[in-house]
Chains A and B, each alone.
Chain A
Amino acid sequence: MNILFYIASLIAIIASIMVITRHNAVHALLYLVLSLLAVAVVFYISGAPYAAALEIIVYAGAIVILFVFVVMMLNLDKSPEDEKSKTGYKTWIVPTVLSLVLIVEFIYAFLTNNPLQAKVQVVGVKQIAVSLFTTYLLGAELIGILLLAGIVGAYHLGRTKKRNLHRYLEVSQESDIKENE
């Protein structure tokens, strides 16, 4: 089981690095799916099968799809903006250094406590369901409301308002739309 964990975590890390270094948005999204799948495997190994399933279904299956939809709608395959950046590798230096420092600090913080025994407990779905609908009932209801707010907000923000132009200017508006497409 250890080997599986190490392989899965290695895949997750490499996939994540590929996500942030790609220029093509669709490629990056595919690598993101890969990363999420690897993390789902890690969940399973950690004794959380329900979380693993949930990760694949919701995270990789819905949220990433949203991304794909937007990419395709806006025609962002080519992603010319990043290619414009002339600095090339130089922009990567500072963030990489900073995050390496931070990672070292994290590892140091994690390891200064007494290292524990390898102990993984499996938590079943039934336990989660009971906990969700008794102890955290209020949280569950609020999550519902939050998702409702998300839906309404996304719908409202994504709307195009129709601009009422003078009829002599409508010709130019049509040509504007043609340019965008």
Chain B
Amino acid sequence: MLQLLWLVPALPFSGFLILALFGKHFPKKIQAIIGSGTIGVAALLVISIGIKFLNLPSHEQIFNQTLWNWFSISGFSPSIAFHLDSLSLVFIFVITFVGFLIHLYSIEYMSFDEGYARFFAYMNLFVGSMLTLVLADNLLLMYLGWEGVGLCSYLLIGFFYKDPANNYAARKAFIVTRVGDTAMLVGLFILFVNFGTLNIHDILTAAPGTIAIGSTLALTIALLLLGGAVGKSAQLPLQVWLPDAMAGPSPVSALIHAATMVTAGVYLIARTNVLFALSPLAMTIVAIVGALTLLLAGISALFQYDLKRVLAYSTISQIGYMFLALGVGAWSAGIFHFMIHAFFKALLFLAGGAVIMALHHEQDMFKMGGLRKKLPVIFWTFLIGSASLAALPLVTAGFYSKDAILWFSFSAGNGSVWLWLAGFTGAFLTSIYTFRMVFLTFYGEEKTHVHYNPGKLMTIPLIVLAILTTFGGFIQLPGNFGHVTIFSNLIENTLPQTVLKSVEAHEWLFQILSAIISLSGIYIAYSMFLKKTVSTYNPSPFQQFFLNGWNFDKLYDTLFVRPFVAIANSNKSDVVDRFFDSIGIAFDKLSKVVSFTQNGRLNWYLTGIVIGLILTISLMLFL
């Protein structure tokens, strides 16, 4: 059964090929079946592979499958090979399972728009690339998947390509992540120079012996890889593309920009944890980046009026939590939060998409309201997802995962009280903006009427995700709650165990503080947004600053875009351009001159004959 691992990425790729080449000729139902069927079969395969895998003894839980040798140039020969261990098992489970639910949802959601087959083709290509990314056993194959998901993100953000604003958002996403990708590529070059191979396992075993702890080489490599992770995961300073990426359809936002692609950076850091551990300064920088990002995004989310942009900033903030966890060395807690976040963020995006569709594409929360009675299923699933996001104590999985991160941000080897304070404030902000979103959308008086009631294909995935969000947390309970460590045992086969500082600390104190903070956030949101009815939103300049995401767009515009455009404009007709233009102009003038010789006048032509005659005779006489 494990031998069928190659089918898991191959099925989505084949679905992409079939739909891209022949999709137009199939009826819509067949397009939907092919598009979601490939992911569904892949999910089933993953579940059965997973069962087989978990039955192996824990020290044998590694499986390699080499498909073929990619190329071989002077000693460098990467192969197309897949490496399955507990970390990649968690990732492929999330990708295929959540991906399948999202595909089911989009069968109904996208059925009203054109380009149905194209949508499923792109989604399949994305899932295939993401699976390649996490299953790759060498960094070059992973970079292939990395680029593939970037491409699909561009294609899917600009899916409704007829609107130029969507194209702009897609280009922005691609270019900003490109900056990160280039940093990562330079990091790969340095790794290759130092190790002679890009095979992950080889690098990780050889690294402690080749690079000294705390050396500049370790710092450089870690920072460059961090650059790539920051770009893909929309962290500071490359977070500007994710809010604009909400121009894509809601299933795209759910799959790519909540559950999977943006977590590619988390995967990269977790996979190359040895390289990061070799440079404590880099780990600290990772944690600081995560902490700053979660605060920045959390504050920005408080001032948004578009439902999807709240969720986008929330995603940026939650990935900041994951970076924070990875930075302090809490590897399994970070991956656990990734899995739980994938569940509830996908749920929130899908439910939000259902609300938007029901209100006929109205995305302004201040124009919604009173949907609690009209869309009950969506309301309850959205509420469960929001509760998990806000880390409602004890009943939601989000509580357990976020609480673990907060605990480790204080007590793990690299942690400090400042990091804990940042995470703590972030949790407070999270519950405020989350329930602001809930109260504005579902409570109060109804400002826009419901046009469309979503059908079963849209509501069943919501219900499944809601169940997972609630009960998924019970596989990893903290020490004083029963100390269930199923998840961390699994992850610690691959990633190192979290090392705690030797300072005295009590976990229960932190848990109580987290519970208090999330409940008080809910209360504040209730008092601000439910008691008094807010109908319109006129942001003051102070609010406008946070509405624009701390004006990072304007900053980058002035720093980078304008000088570049100015230089390009001034270089518009440089020497090379002029040279090639002049060739064309010269021929143009020449043709105008020559065209005078064809004027239809008999005398002119006869003169030409005479001249030719003279030339011929002179040639005959004098040569």
Contacts and interface: CB of A to CB of B under 8 A. Distances in A.
> Do A and B interact directly, with beta carbons closer than 8 Å?
yes
Interface of A: 94-95, 98-99, 101-102, 105, 108-109
A181 to B, nearest CB: 28
Interface string B592-617: 00000000000000010011011001
Nearest to A106: B617
A127 B417 CA distance: 135
A95 B611 CA distance: 10
B621 A108 contact: yes
11 contacts: A94-B607, A95-B610, A98-B611, A99-B610, A102-B610, A102-B613, A102-B614, A105-B614, A105-B618, A109-B617, A109-B621
A102 B611 CA distance: 9
Dominant SS among interface residues on chain A: helix
Contacts of A95: 607, 610
Interface in B58-95: none
Q: How large is the interface on B (under 10, 10 to 19, 20 to 34, 35 or more residues)?
A: under 10
B614 A98 contact: yes
Contacts of B607: 94-95, 98
Given A95-B610, A101-B614, A108-B621, 11 more contacts: A94-B607, A95-B607, A98-B607, A98-B611, A98-B614, A99-B610, A102-B613, A102-B614, A102-B617, A105-B614, A105-B617
A108 B617 CA distance: 11
A94 B607 CA distance: 9
Nearest to B617: A105
Contacts of A108: 621
B597 to A, nearest CB: 14
A100 to B, nearest CB: 11
A108 B607 CA distance: 22
Contacts, number: 20
Nearest to A101: B614
Contacts of A99: 610
The 5 closest A-B pairs by CB, nearest first: A98-B610, A105-B617, A102-B614, A101-B614, A109-B621
Contacts of A101: 614
Nearest to A102: B614
A141 to B, nearest CB: 33
A109 B614 CA distance: 13
Contacts of B611: 98
A109 B621 CA distance: 7
Contacts of A102: 610, 613-614, 617
A121 B384 CA distance: 130
A6 B611 CA distance: 30
A15 B614 CA distance: 25
Contacts of B621: 105, 108-109
Contacts of B610: 95, 98-99, 102
A99 B610 CA distance: 8
A95 B609 CA distance: 12
B602 to A, nearest CB: 13
B133 to A, nearest CB: 79
B261 to A, nearest CB: 78
Nearest to A95: B607
B610 to A, nearest CB: 5
Contacts of B614: 98, 101-102, 105
Nearest to A109: B621
Nearest to B606: A95
Interface string B424-442: 0000000000000000000
A95 B606 CA distance: 10
Nearest to A108: B621
B441 to A, nearest CB: 82
A103 to B, nearest CB: 11
Contacts of A98: 607, 610-611, 614
A99 to B, nearest CB: 7
A31 B502 CA distance: 132
A106 B268 CA distance: 92
A179 B621 CA distance: 56
